[in-house]
Structure 1
Amino acid sequence: MSRPQLPPGPSLHGGATTSTAPPGYQQELRRAVGGFASFAAGFSFVSILTTVFQLFGLGFGLGGAAFFWTWPLVFAGQLLVALCFAELAARWPISGAIYQWASRLAGTTVGWFVGWIMIIGQILTVAAAAIAAQAVLPGIWSGFQIVGGPGADPSVGSPTGARNAVLLGCVLLLVTTVVNILGIRQMAAATSFGVTVEIIGVVALVLVLFFLPERGPQVVAHHTGWAGHSGYLGAFLASSLMAAYVMVGFDSAGELAEETHSPRRTTPRTILRALTISGVGGALLILSGLMAAGSLTDGKLAAGGLSWVLTDRLGGVVGRLLLCCVAVAVFACTLAVQTSGARMMYSMAREGALPFHRHLAKVSARTGTPITTSIVVGVAAAAALVVNIRQSAIFTALSSLCIAMLYLAYLGVTLPLLVSRIRQRAAGGLPEGVDETGRPLFSLGRWGVAVNAVAVLYQAGMTVDLVWPRAEIYDLTGGTWWLRWSALLFIGLSLAAGAGYFLARGLHRRIELRHVPHTHTEPPREAEAVAEPA
C-alpha cells in the first residue's frame, strides 16, 4: 500500500512536549516505568520459572534428556529477532509495538493484520500463562486441587487436572485484571516484585539442584527418558515447543514504551537484557533439573516436571517454599502478558482499527491506564479457558497455538524489515538519530541484513514446527481430526474473521488517515536537554 510522503512530525526529544508525547499522539498514558520495571515487563512475559516449570515435563516426555539442546537453538534464533526489535524500539517507541512497527515498514493494512494476529495470540498466551498455576499450586498444598479433591490427579493432562487448571486460571485472571485496573504504578511495582522474587528463586533453585546431582552434565548427550521408537528428529522438533513457548514476549518492553522514561535509550536495552538473562537462567535450570532428578525412566519426571524434582529431592517443606517463588512468578507472568495485550489493543483502538474502538481507546484520568482493554483481555482469556474446560489437551494445545500466533506476528515485522533493509540499503537503511542522552540509537549497522535474514528463516521454520498437526500436542484422544489440525484451522478462521471485519468496515482508508501524522516520523538527529517528567 502506498503511503503519503510527509515531513517528520514531532519527536520524543526536542521541544516543550517532546519528552512526554510519542510521535503524532497526545500523551495520555502515564509515564511511570523506569529501567528495571521496563526490564521486568519483558522478563516477566518470558518468565522462565513459570514456563520451564509448566513445560519441562512435556519437553522431557517428547524428547528425553537431549531435549535440552532445543533451548540454545531457540535462544540463538530469538536473539536475532530481539536484535531487530531493539533497533525498531529505539526508532519508534510507541505502545502496540508490533502493530506500529509493521505499519511503518509495510503499510497500515499489513500492520492491521499483524496487530490482529498479535492480539489474539496475546489473549491465548494470557490464558496459557494462567493455567500454569495448576503446575505449581497443588504441589504447594493439595487443597488447591479443588476438582476431584486432594487425592485427584493434578496433572494438567488428566481430566481432573485440566478442569482444576481452568478454575485456578480464572481466579488468577481476576486478580491480575484488578491490578491492571489500579494503575501503571501498581502494575509496575507488582511486576518488579515478581521479577525480583523470580530471579532469587532461579538462583536458589539452580544452586540447590546442582548440589544434589544424581548424574553429571553429560546426561544431555543422550535421549534417556524418550519412549518413542521411530526416528528421533521428529521427537526433537516436537520437544522444541517448550523452548519456543518460553522465549517469547521480550518485546513487552516496547509495549510499555509510551509509559517508560527515556524509551529510545531504555527499551532496546531491556528487550535484549530480558531475553539474555532468561536464556542463561533457563539453560541452567533445565540442566540442573535433569542432573538432580531421582529417575529419568520411571515416568515421574515427564508427568510431574520440575515440581516433582523439588518435592522429591528437597522434601516437603523446602520444596514447597521454592514452589512459592514459582507461584509468584506465575502471577507476574500472567500480569505482564495481560498488560502487553491491553496496550496492543489500546494502540489499535485509538486509530479506529477495532470494534468498539471509542470505548477501548479511553484512558482513565485517575489511573492513566486503558482500563477497558485490560478487562477485555482478562475476560477473553478466561473465556478461552472455560470453552476448553473438558479438553484434556488444553495445556499443550493452547501453549503451541498461542506461540504460533506470536511467531506469525513477529514474522510480520521481521520480513518487512528485511525487505526494507534491502530496498533502502543504498540510503542507509533504517533512520538514524540519537536517544534522549544524545548517544546514537542502537543499530546493527552492516550486520543488519544478515542478522535479519537468518531471523526470518528461523521464524518461518519454527512457525511450521509449532503448527504441525501432532497428535501428542493437539489431540490427546488420538482420533479427533479437527483437534489435530486445530492450529491451522484456528489461524485460518482468525484471519478470515479479521479480513471480513476489515473489508466490511472499510478500515483501509480509516486507519491510513489516522496513521498518517506519525507514519514517517524519524528519531531526532540532535538531542536537547529536556527533563524527564516525574
Structure 2
Amino acid sequence: MSDSEELARFGYEQSFERRTSRFASFAVAFAFVSIATGIFTTYGSVLNSSGPLGIWTWPIAVVGQLAVAFVLGSLASRIPVTGYAYQWTSRLANPVLGWIIGWISFMFLAVVVVAVDYTVASTVLPVLLDYTASPGITWAVTALILLGQGLLIGTSTRWTEKVNNTAVTAELIGMVLLTVLLLVVAAVRHRMDFDNLFSRGAVPAEGYWSFGDATTAGPWMLGFLLGAFTIVGFESAANLAEETNDPERVVPRAMWQAVLASGVLGFLFLVAVTLAAGDPVALAQSGTPIADVIRVTLGGVVSTLLLLLVVLAIFACGLVIMMTGTRLTWAMSRDERFPGWSHWKRISPRFGTPLRATVFYVVLAEVILGLFSAFSEDALFTLFGAATLLPAVIYAATVGLYLVKRRSLPANGKFDLGRWEIPVLVVAVVWLVFELALFRDAAFADAWLYVVVLLVIGAVYLGALLVTRGRGALALPEARSIDAELDRKAHA
C-alpha cells in the first residue's frame, strides 16, 4: 500500500510532495533539539543555579526524554498524519481534548521560535560582531531573522530542508571536533581541572540537595533545566509525516536517534567544557561562558568559528520550529478548527507550501516578540521558561493518554515497543512528573502567566466554536475512532 493510500485511511488526501528522506527527517528532529543552541544558551544559568555539578543531571534528562521519544514514536508510527500531538490525542481520546493539546502545541511553537531567535540577537551576534545589544537592536535583529526564516519556509520546502541538512551536518561535525580539541588541548596545556566536575561553584553547600518547598526547587533540581530545555522538539519529525517516505518506519527512528545522538554528544561536550572551565565562579558571571572557555583554551579564531557554528545551528533550529508550527496550523485548519482556518488550510499552487499559514505564523511570532520585548524586563528567561514548560505539559498529556489506550493499539510491524513497553512507560512517567515539579519554582511565574493567558484565549475560541457549530465542528474526517481505524488497518 502506498503512503497516499495509507493517508486516505485517516480521511485525508495527499496535499504535499513526499520528498523528506531518512536523513532529512533525522535532521529535522536533531535541529529542533540543537545541542549547540541549548547548551550555549543555558550553561551559564546552570552554573549560577546548580554549579558545574549540575551537568550530571543531563544524562538523567536524556534517559527520560529518550523514553518519551519511544512512546511518541509508537504513536507516530500508528498515526502518520501531519499535526502530531493534535492528531494523536484527537484520535486516541476525543476531538475536544485533541484540540486543547493542539492549541498548547501551537502556543509552544509560537513562543519557542521567538526564544531561540532572540538568543542569536541578544547573546551571540553582539559577541561575534562586537556591538552593544540594546533592546531596540535586539528586537530588530530578531524580527529580521524571523522574517528570513518565514521567507524560506513559505517559498520552498526543498530548500528549507537543504539548508537544515547542511546546518545539522555542520553542527554534528563541529561539535565532535570541538569536544576532541577541548579535551586534547586542555590536557596538553594542563588546563584540565577534574574537581570542576563535582564543584558547586558559588552555590552554597547547605540545602544544595534539598527538594525545596511549595514555591522553590532545590539547587540540584534546577540543573535539570539544562536537559529539559535542550532535549525537546524531537517529535517535530512527525509533523512532516505527510511529506516523508515510509513515515511509519522513518519518523519514529528519526525521533529516538536524534535524542540519543544529541544526548551522547551533548554530554561529552559539557564534560569537556567543564574540565577546561578554569574558575567556575568567575565563569558564571559571563554572558557567554561557552565561548569564553573556547577562546581561552583554543584561541580567538576557534572561538569565532564556534560562534559562527552556533549562529548556523540556532538559525536552523528556529527554521525547523517555524516549519513545524506552520504544519500544525495547516493541519488544524484543514480540519476547520483553527481561527481563520479557511485561509490557512490552503497550499500554494506555486510553491507547494502552506504559504498563508506561514505568513500568519511569522506575524504572530513578531507580535509575541514585541510584547515580550516591551513588557518583560527579563524577556529571554521568560521565553525560555515558557518554552520549557509547554513541551513538558504536551508530553505528559500524550504519554498519559498512551498509557490508558495502549492495550487497544494494534502492532503495525514497523515500530513497536514490545516487551519493553512497560519499563519505557515507567521511566517516561516518572521523568515527566519530576520535570513538571520543577516549574513550581516562583521564577517561572511569568511563564505560567503566558500559558494561562493563551489557554484563556483558546478556551474562548473553543467555546465559540462549540456554541456556533456544535460538537460536529470538531469531528475528524469520517468520524472514526482510532481503535476502529487501526483495527481496520491491521486486518486489511
Global fold match (TM > 0.5)? yes
Q: Give 2:472's match in structure 1, choosing from 498, 501, 509.
A: 509
The aligned residue for residue 224 of structure 1 is 201
Matches within 5 A, 1:155-234: 160=134, 163-213=136-186, 214-226=191-203, 230-233=207-210, 234=218
The answer to whether the aligner puts 1:28 opposite 2:12 as a matched pair is no
Matches within 5 A, 1:392-431: 392-421=377-406, 424=407, 429-431=408-410
Alpha-carbon offset, residue 118 of structure 1: 0.6
The answer to whether the aligner puts 1:313 opposite 2:297 as a matched pair is yes
**Closer, same or farther in 2 for the Cα pair 1:268/1:525, shift >3 Å?**
same
Q: Distance in 1 between matches of 2:479 and 2:309?
A: 46
Matches within 5 A, 1:231-310: 231-233=208-210, 234-299=218-283, 302-310=286-294
Q: Distance in 2 between matches of 1:164 and 1:56?
A: 24
The aligned residue for residue 91 of structure 1 is 78
Tell me, yes or no, if the aligned pair for 2:168 and 2:313 is still in contact at 8 Å: yes
Alpha-carbon offset, residue 467 of structure 1: 4.8
RMSD of equivalent CA atoms: 2.2
The answer to whether the aligner puts 1:521 opposite 2:481 as a matched pair is no
SS where residue 36 of structure 2 aligns?
helix
2:299 maps to a residue whose letter is: G
* Deviation larger for 30-39 or 517-526: 517-526
Q: Distance in 1 between matches of 2:491 and 2:261?
A: 32
The answer to whether the aligner puts 1:451 opposite 2:439 as a matched pair is no
The answer to whether the aligner puts 1:139 opposite 2:127 as a matched pair is yes
Tell me, yes or no, if the aligned pair for 1:177 and 1:374 is still in contact at 8 Å: yes
Tell me, yes or no, if the aligned pair for 1:401 and 1:467 is still in contact at 8 Å: no
The aligned residue for residue 125 of structure 1 is 112
1:123 maps to a residue whose letter is: A
Alpha-carbon offset, residue 335 of structure 1: 0.1
Tell me, yes or no, if the aligned pair for 1:194 and 1:329 is still in contact at 8 Å: yes
Q: Distance in 1 between matches of 2:94 and 2:7?
A: 26
Q: Distance in 1 between matches of 2:387 and 2:295?
A: 30
How many residue pairs end up in the alignment? Answer: 474
Alpha-carbon offset, residue 296 of structure 1: 1.3
**Closer, same or farther in 2 for the Cα pair 1:393/1:163, shift >3 Å?**
farther
Structure 2: gaps of 5 or more residues = 211-217
Q: Distance in 2 between matches of 1:61 and 1:207?
A: 26
Q: Distance in 1 between matches of 2:302 and 2:271?
A: 20
The aligned residue for residue 479 of structure 1 is none
The aligned residue for residue 461 of structure 1 is 434
Q: Distance in 1 between matches of 2:40 and 2:478?
A: 42
Alpha-carbon offset, residue 101 of structure 1: 0.7
Tell me, yes or no, if the aligned pair for 1:23 and 1:518 is still in contact at 8 Å: no
Alpha-carbon offset, residue 77 of structure 1: 0.8
Tell me, yes or no, if the aligned pair for 1:132 and 1:165 is still in contact at 8 Å: no
Tell me, yes or no, if the aligned pair for 2:410 and 2:490 is still in contact at 8 Å: no
Q: Distance in 1 between matches of 2:249 and 2:447?
A: 38
* Deviation larger for 394-403 or 213-222: 213-222
Tell me, yes or no, if the aligned pair for 1:53 and 1:306 is still in contact at 8 Å: yes
| Bigger share in helix | 2
The aligned residue for residue 411 of structure 2 is 432
**Closer, same or farther in 2 for the Cα pair 1:415/1:171, shift >3 Å?**
same
Alpha-carbon offset, residue 274 of structure 1: 0.7
Q: Distance in 2 between matches of 1:379 and 1:202?
A: 33
Tell me, yes or no, if the aligned pair for 1:58 and 1:302 is still in contact at 8 Å: no
**Closer, same or farther in 2 for the Cα pair 1:22/1:62, shift >3 Å?**
farther
SS where residue 505 of structure 1 aligns?
helix
**Closer, same or farther in 2 for the Cα pair 1:271/1:513, shift >3 Å?**
closer
Q: Give 2:346's match in structure 1, choosing from 339, 353, 362.
A: 362
The aligned residue for residue 454 of structure 2 is 494
Tell me, yes or no, if the aligned pair for 2:27 and 2:165 is still in contact at 8 Å: yes
Q: Distance in 1 between matches of 2:9 and 2:164?
A: 24
Alpha-carbon offset, residue 377 of structure 1: 2.0
Deviations 1:448-472 (A, max 9, x none): 23422431232132123135212xx
**Structure 1: which 4+ aligned runs deviate by more than 6 Å?**
none
Percent of residue pairs bearing the same amino acid type:
30
Q: Distance in 1 between matches of 2:315 and 2:450?
A: 27
Tell me, yes or no, if the aligned pair for 2:238 and 2:251 is still in contact at 8 Å: yes
Deviations 1:284-334 (A, max 9, x none): 111111111232122456532202222232222221022211111011000
Q: Distance in 2 between matches of 1:94 and 1:268?
A: 13
Q: Distance in 2 between matches of 1:53 and 1:515?
A: 47
1:455 maps to a residue whose letter is: A
SS where residue 5 of structure 2 aligns?
coil
**Closer, same or farther in 2 for the Cα pair 1:104/1:420, shift >3 Å?**
same
Tell me, yes or no, if the aligned pair for 1:212 and 1:292 is still in contact at 8 Å: no
Deviations 1:370-414 (A, max 9, x none): 112222222222222221225341111111112211111122211
Q: Distance in 1 between matches of 2:11 and 2:88?
A: 15
Structure 1: gaps of 5 or more residues = 1-12, 143-149, 155-159, 434-439, 475-484, 528-534
* Deviation larger for 17-26 or 35-44: 17-26
